Structure 1
Amino acid sequence: MVAVKSRIAFSILVPTVPRRPEQILPFAALTAWTPAARLWQGQSLLVEPYQGFAHAAGAGFRVPVGLGVALMGLRNPYEAAGQARSLAAVTGHPVVAGFGPGAPAFQRAILGRPYPSPLTACREYLTAVRQLLGGGVVEVAGEYVNLTAQLTPTPAPPVELGLGVLRPGMARLAGEVADVAITWLTPAAYLRSSVVPALRAGAEAANRPMPRLTAIVPMALGRPDRTPVEIALASNAGHLQAPHYRDMLRRAGAGIGPDDSLEDAGKALVGCDGFLSGSPEQLAELVAEYADAGVDEIVINVTGVHALYGQQAALAELRTILAEVAR
């Protein structure tokens, strides 16, 4: 096996959108009983991640959790800060609360129009949430965020603020204002060449430490009866239809065009190692490239396996991969 840098952490993504909170429990248990560092979930419009994670804590699985990423248009910064701090209090662990603007179509549906400047919107949003978590009266009068408010002080583990990052502009902003930069579908080579330098530049401009880099990486064990492209599409078909993801993959050298078919997009994703497939030993080699690129935490994403083969297969896959890469 190729040794992965000892500093890197391995975590688990809940590989489905839960319709009932108890569906989270097997993955919370796996996080508690394995070397997994944290349990992650993306935005859900069914069981909200905050409530789902609180349910798991109430069921006895008080594990570190991360949200990667919650969509800003669904909650006022005051609620975002209060929810994240409440989750830290319920779990007893620091929470990574990641946020992002979402696709322009989502912004239009929720807000009436897309953000004219997503970077400005993210800067104002994270700044307001950070100030609220810091205590005291917060007064913000921005282009997108306007509030005068204070969270009632109470003891709780810290909340770390994350920002969803795909392209260099958002990465530079994350370097300036976030504690964690969170990526999705980003190949290791692209992180090394584009995202990490932008993160570093943003941090240097703001005279602060560079944020940690968390990469949520879709993967699956290779088997004779499986086709990597089929699993990749089962995991990420929605993302691969979004212009901003296609643009990121084009920048990453995937050779994907705006009008390419979904099948071609899936092949491009697999071809550029945005989706990983192979034996446990091969996955360990591919994961080592993320560590070498500067990633601090890899979140193992087996949503495609869950979608095609079910929960038990996904749990078995996670156990096998963790046993190999997290030695």
Structure 2
Amino acid sequence: MMLPFVPKRPEQALPFAGLVSWSSAARLWQGQGLLTEGHHVYSYLAGAGFRFPVGFGVSLMPFRHPYDAAVQARSLALTTGQPVVAGFGPGALQLQRSVLGREYASQLGACREYLGAVRRLLDGEVLDFSGDHFEVHGQLQPYPSPPVEVGLGVLRKGAAKVAGEVADAAITWLTPAPYLAGTLAPALAEGAARAERPAPRVVAIVPVALAAGDRDPVRLALASNKPHLSLPHYQSMLRAGGLEITGDPALDARELVAHDGFLYGGEEELTEKLLAYRDAGADEVVLNVTGVSAVYGPEVAVRELAAILRHFEKASA
């Protein structure tokens, strides 16, 4: 499940850490934090006694050199004693210009170089690499650690092909299940075949909310995803998935709900919709109740996650 907010203080994450530890949830995920940094939050939780597999979906490449990304990911695995999924993505063009002073000359080329370098460093290789986007000369100090998977945020076919070539995990966000099955999964397989390697596993981060009489699903979808709906690469992905995206946030949020980009319904209905991601090829489905947390608060969000997990466990049994 996803930590549905960026904590101002790391102890605010404790109820969600407890739920991961005491339920069937397999991993806690975070997105890119700009207030508190995700590696620090996970380290705090480990110090508080909560040690479980963790993931990042996704950290933004402009903020970290590949060598530092590899050091941080392995350091977290050593600190927690648990597996880590270190997911990365290039971020929006404006972010790249703000941090780097320029855009990556090739978005896909930058992803291919970055993930390739991080993976090879984690594998213990000595790198003497000068690419079109990054230079990496060195090696991580050899030391055994729990496994670290390197993931790529995937929205469209091009990124999926790159993930097939170099990633351990392809991480989707806001992606309807039919688009995952019909567009992304074949592209992942194509990239993997080109690189003569197994296809990466698929992690689908899915925004969800339980239905209730006093709830407006469009409001919840907006609270969860309004910034993403304004970004061209998300708009392009959703249009390719069959949604009529107009640039009007309220109308686009309504489309998300109508086409199950944002999952809304009772416990049984939500379970069926989540199982559709499994059938579409997802190996790991991440429950994201960011909208619930934003509108009703973290206490409601953690209870909502617990309810969804309990029902899912019963349905799976």
TM-score, normalised to structure 1, is 0.95
Alignment of 1:1-327 (within 5 A): 12-257=1-246, 260-326=247-313, 327=316
Counterpart residue identity of residue 204, structure 1: A
Counterpart residue identity of residue 222, structure 1: A
Counterpart residue identity of residue 263, structure 2: L
What's the CA shift string for 1:155-188, capped at 9, x where partnerless?
A: 2111100000000000011001000000000000
What's the CA shift string for 1:67-93, capped at 9, x where partnerless?
A: 010000001111100000010011111
Secondary structure at the aligned position of 1:190 is classed as helix
Secondary structure at the aligned position of 1:13 is classed as coil
What's the CA shift string for 1:66-121, capped at 9, x where partnerless?
A: 00100000011111000000100111111000000001111111111111201000
Secondary structure at the aligned position of 2:142 is classed as coil
Q: Which residue of 2 aligns with 1:5?
A: none
Give distance in 2, aligned partners of 1:249 and 1:93.
34
What's the CA shift string for 1:40-70, capped at 9, x where partnerless?
A: 0000011111111011001000111000100
What's the CA shift string for 1:215-268, capped at 9, x where partnerless?
A: 0000100001001100000011100111111111100001113xx311011111
Secondary structure at the aligned position of 1:160 is classed as strand
The size of the alignment, in residue pairs, is 314
Percent identity over paired residues: 57
Give distance in 2, aligned partners of 1:271 and 1:250.
14
Secondary structure at the aligned position of 2:86 is classed as strand
Give distance in 1, aligned partners of 2:204 and 2:99.
27
Shift of 1:136: 3.7
4+ residue runs over 2 A deviation: none
What's the CA shift string for 1:244-300, capped at 9, x where partnerless?
A: 11111100001113xx31101111111111000000000011111111111111000
Secondary structure at the aligned position of 1:152 is classed as coil
Counterpart residue identity of residue 213, structure 1: V
C-alpha spacing 1:136/1:286, structure 2 compared with 1 (3 Å): closer
Counterpart residue identity of residue 318, structure 1: L
Secondary structure at the aligned position of 2:261 is classed as coil
Give distance in 1, aligned partners of 2:204 and 2:67.
27
Shift of 1:130: 1.0
Secondary structure at the aligned position of 1:46 is classed as coil
What's the CA shift string for 1:107-158, capped at 9, x where partnerless?
A: 1111111112010001110111111111142111101111211111112111
Counterpart residue identity of residue 156, structure 1: S
C-alpha spacing 1:193/1:136, structure 2 compared with 1 (3 Å): closer
1 or 2 for the larger relative contact order (CA 8 Å, sep ≥6)? 1
TM-score, normalised to structure 2, is 0.98
Give distance in 2, aligned partners of 1:168 and 1:271.
23
Secondary structure at the aligned position of 1:43 is classed as coil
Q: Which blocks of at least 5 consecutive residues in structure 2 are unaligned?
A: none
Counterpart residue identity of residue 175, structure 2: T
